[in-house]
Structure 1
Amino acid sequence: MNWNSVLFDWNHVRGFLATVEEGSLSGGARVLGVTQPTLSRQISALEASLGVTLFERGHRSSELTAAGLELVDHVRTMFSAATDISLTASGQSQTIKGHVKITSTNNMATFNLPPILKRLRGIAPEIEIELVTSNDVHDLKKREADIAIRHGRPEQPDLIAKLIGETSANFYASTEYLDRMGRPDSPADLSTHDFIGFETATMLIPHYKQMGINVIRDNFKIYSASGTVVIALAEQGLGIIMMFKNELGQVKGMEKLLPDFPSIPIPIWLVTHRELHTSRRIRLVYDHLSVELKALLKNG
């Protein structure tokens, strides 16, 4: 589809995005402060201008069509860019103040978020960022965090969850370890190697077995609840780990194992609560993270 040849009403696009984020016409109408028939007419007008059907309309929900799925990421990028342009041009981003609490994994906070937050400081220096590193799922509904970066979609239906994209993971070990213990030629060879556990010595065993890697408790001689500590232990030659692709540039002396073994897809979700629609500081931080994380995945 040639999107460049199409003209449309900005309010109609806004209605489309609100419906996607809320999961229904009634939810989208509520956050926009319009009636459901008005929002339905806006989306119908957008569909007519684009020449496609964006939603399969049901009794209680509206499911995106393939054309809708194709459009939604473009629309989100447009709105994020428009927000940044508007705030920067007016100087408002410099004056938005307040506290925003972000939670992510230790690895994400260490390897990926510092340059992203540095650029955020340049856009909105009056926003105070609290970065919480945890593997636990913080309850956004109870305001334990304002924004969460997760590897799984939240189950709470009233949160706003956006799939940023996917990274991937593979098995790695240090050159020192492989020179000492030998380089495995097949998944079966891994059963004789040392692994570094995450959180507990046994948590990863069921996941590895699903991949056809038969390891037992004795394969895990050392473990940690910190992802960055796990990587540091692997750098010292203490065993094999699973590591994300976008972490590689900041880790030295590691080799990928089993080149023909398929990569493990790892989704990245950006999650927040309904205050996104009323808090300018949360919206600004959320949109900034969305654009930056998408760029990270694209370039990584």
Structure 2
Amino acid sequence: MSQPHFDWTLVRSFLAALEAGSLMGAARSLGAHQPTLSRHISELESQLGVALFERTGRGLAPTTAALALADAARQMQAGALALGQALARRQHSTQGTVRIAASQVMASCVLPPLLAELQQAEPGIQVELVVSNGLANLLRREADIAVRMLRPQQASLVARKVGEMQVHPCAHRRYLQQAGVPQTPQDLLSHRLLGYDRDDTILRGFAQRGIALTPQHFALRTDDQIAYGQLIAAGAGIGFTSAQQWRQWPEVQPLLPQLKIPPLPCWLAVHREIRGNPLVRLVYDHLAQGLGRALQ
């Protein structure tokens, strides 16, 4: 024998009448017209071949058949509600891929926990992290968002300053036990210093304080930020790095608190034409808020 076809609209009207005890109350709860509810119940009774309600002066009295069907109807109601919620979540979920360009230190020390938070909050978003120090990737649309330590000057880019990265001279405690702790910036000249190779940032910083340094003052030189940090962590000498980096190494401590090194501003940049993209905007706002916290 073929199974009867159940129209969910009819079952919903039946449940509303069962709960309200009257067609008027059922119509009010569903925001429908009373004749429509009456027609739905009559149609359902015709399909099932049984009477579901007895019309009384006080409203509707459920029959034994109606009470027997009530639990199954409520299960259908719960299933329909769950289906509607799932469809709504899917319709409003954020899905897609966003490419983020960042420097080595930013990509390895600052962004990982922020991106992990993003994945927890928006599992539908896929992130491609491009480790690069140049701005050309934004201009060529090779990345959607860039985290940079210099403000981009290109008119086609929109930049927002989200914080500052503090830089300190620091060294491993093992090195300091052997070589002593410098008390003044001038004392650094008698220590084993770690410097950059082609990048003259450290040299220019000392020159501004009247201390003339040359590349030969650096016992070890590299422009690779990750390798540079690992040299500090290994006790190779005194280097200059951000608090976000040296705090990851328990045995490394900052030095010379009186040496005020200008902080590095952190900029969040995006191409002007895509900043209105909802997906990019969501990731941009998440990074702006997270970087503000991380760089405090």
Instruction: Confirm or deny a common fold (TM above 0.5).
Output: yes
* Among 116, 119, 143, the residue aligned to 1:118: 116
Larger Rg: 2
Counterpart position of 1:262: 260
Offset at residue 156 of structure 1 (A): 0.5
Counterpart position of 2:97: 99
Instruction: Check 1:178–1:122 CA distance in 2 against 1; reply closer, same or farther (3 A cut).
Output: same
Counterpart position of 1:188: 186
* Among 163, 166, 188, the residue aligned to 2:164: 166
Cα RMSD of the aligned pairs, angstroms, is: 2.2
Offset at residue 167 of structure 1 (A): 2.6
Offset at residue 267 of structure 1 (A): 0.8
Counterpart position of 1:234: 232
The residue type equivalent to 1:296 in the other structure is: A
Rounded Cα–Cα distance in structure 2 between residues aligned with 1:112 and 1:92:
31
Q: Is the 8 A contact 2:165 2:243 kept in 1?
A: yes
1:126-205 paired onto structure 2 within 5 Å: 126-200=124-198, 204-205=202-203
List alignment gaps of at least 5 residues for structure 2.
1-87
Q: Is the 8 A contact 1:100 1:281 kept in 2?
A: yes
Offset at residue 203 of structure 1 (A): 5.3
Rounded Cα–Cα distance in structure 2 between residues aligned with 1:231 and 1:252:
13
Counterpart position of 2:271: 273
**Secondary structure at 1:283 match in 2:** helix
**Secondary structure at 2:166 match in 1:** strand
Q: Is the 8 A contact 1:103 1:138 kept in 2?
A: no
Offset at residue 199 of structure 1 (A): 4.7
Counterpart position of 1:24: none
Q: Residue by residue, what CA displacement relative to the aligned partner does 1:63-92 show, whole Å, maximum 9, x if unpaired?
A: xxxxxxxxxxxxxxxxxxxxxxxxxxx747
When normalised by structure 1's length, the TM-score is 0.64
Q: Residue by residue, what CA displacement relative to the aligned partner does 1:243-265 show, whole Å, maximum 9, x if unpaired?
A: 21233331221122212222422
Counterpart position of 1:215: 213
The residue type equivalent to 1:171 in the other structure is: P
Rounded Cα–Cα distance in structure 2 between residues aligned with 1:199 and 1:279:
40
Instruction: Check 1:214–1:180 CA distance in 2 against 1; reply closer, same or farther (3 A cut).
Output: farther
Q: Percent identity?
A: 33
Q: Is the 8 A contact 2:246 2:253 kept in 1?
A: no
The residue type equivalent to 2:96 in the other structure is: G
Q: Is the 8 A contact 2:157 2:269 kept in 1?
A: yes
Which deviates more, 284-293 or 232-241? 232-241
Offset at residue 186 of structure 1 (A): 1.2
Q: Residue by residue, what CA displacement relative to the aligned partner does 1:115-152 show, whole Å, maximum 9, x if unpaired?
A: 11111112222222111112233341211211111111
* Among 289, 292, 296, the residue aligned to 1:294: 292
Q: Is the 8 A contact 2:165 2:242 kept in 1?
A: yes
Q: Is the 8 A contact 2:168 2:243 kept in 1?
A: yes
Offset at residue 214 of structure 1 (A): 2.9
Which deviates more, 244-253 or 100-109? 244-253
Moved over 4 A (4+): none
The residue type equivalent to 1:152 in the other structure is: L
When normalised by structure 2's length, the TM-score is 0.65
Instruction: Check 1:120–1:185 CA distance in 2 against 1; reply closer, same or farther (3 A cut).
Output: same
The residue type equivalent to 2:241 in the other structure is: M
Rounded Cα–Cα distance in structure 2 between residues aligned with 1:277 and 1:91:
24
Counterpart position of 1:45: none
